[in-house]
Amino acid sequence: MAQDLFVPGEEVADISDQLRGHGITTNDTHLVSSLCGISSQLHKLTFMTSFKTWYQPRVGDIVIGRIVSIEGRKWKVDVGAPQHGRLMISSVNLPGGELRRRDQTDELNMRSFFIEGDVLSAEVQQTNQDGSFTLHTRSERYGKLEHGYFARTESYLVKRANRHIHTLDNGVGLIIGVNGRCWISGPRPMAAGQGESTKDMADAVLSVDRLRGVARTARAIEELTAERKFVTLESITARLADM
């Protein structure tokens, strides 16, 4: 069963085909949703996930988070889960992609990698039964995010897919985090001041155009979220085409 949106009282599935799980009641013939949320199926068990819920990390998820503290050899990262994620110094990409063991000098210079308030993209490396989880940025695809816009949707509106990092037709970069946080990026705008070359001024115009693209993309995500529609590359592209 594909994930679909339901409201209380709406019929979800035929009672003869499925078992009743969390958020499901029954009538004579059907399983019925008892809350606003999305339906999911595990084998023959059908259950509902509420609209208002914490993000539940899974290994391999691409997420966007914010550094909240530095403790010992790790950073604590808020990704919208019940607990903060842990990013160990051994799990970050060294400058230039250098491959070596992290030493005491790296520990003393942890603030040269990330500081409190930094936004970053990462991948969930490991999850534990107590709800704790670890992250890693050991890839050039991940790391600190700058010169962009931090947008929020709900984690239940993001479908896990093969790709979560995209470049839109308008040149805007887009990361759709499985945790419901998105990063929309474009190049830093250049000021077209007196004495600059024609090329510099053309670059400035291009940057302004892309910044407009960033704003339009953020608006598309906000509208999809308000309408409780899935936030995917396809839905964002379609919404941009309608603007």
How far is the C-alpha of 201 from the C-alpha of 198, rounded, in Å? Answer: 5
Q: By C-alpha distance, which of 69, 233, 243, 214 is closest to 161?
A: 233
Q: How confident is the model at residue 51 (pLDDT cuts 50, 70, 90)?
A: low
pTM of the model: 0.71
Domains and CATH numbers, the chain: 4-50 (2.40.50.100), 62-144 (2.40.50.140), 157-242 (no CATH)
Q: How confident is the model at residue 37 (pLDDT cuts 50, 70, 90)?
A: confident
Residue pair 143/121 in contact (Cβ under 8 Å)? The answer is: yes
Q: Which of 3-7, 62-66, 166-170 is the least confident region?
A: 3-7
pLDDT value for 52: 65
Q: How does pLDDT run across 17-31, given as a tens digit for each residue?
A: 788 887 888 888 888
Which of the two residues, 240 and 208, has the higher pLDDT score?
A: 240
